[in-house]
Amino acid sequence: ENISSFVIPIALLIGFGGGFFWYTYLNAISLYSEDDTRDISISFIGVFASIIALIVPAIAGAVIDAFSG
């Protein structure tokens, strides 16, 4: 089949998935943090997300390099 006919449905699924993720993520932050400490909570989440975003590609590269016979 022609793969270009699936571009719009896949884009819609990715868009809806991202929207639902961010909606529930931000909703959980507002529910489970207090007003005075919300900024600190979001800061910690951002710091840990950034650290993970730096480490995971290196680990993935090491795994790919290890299995690339």
Please indicate, yes or no, whether the overall pTM of this predicted structure exceeds 0.85.
no
CA distances to 1, 2, 40, 45 from 51, in Å = 42, 40, 17, 10
Q: How confident is the model at residue 2 (pLDDT cuts 50, 70, 90)?
A: confident
Give how far the C-alpha of residue 34 lies from the chain's centroid of Cα atoms, to the nearest Å: 24
Contacts of 19 (CB under 8 A, 6+ apart): none
pLDDT at residue 5 is higher than 70: yes
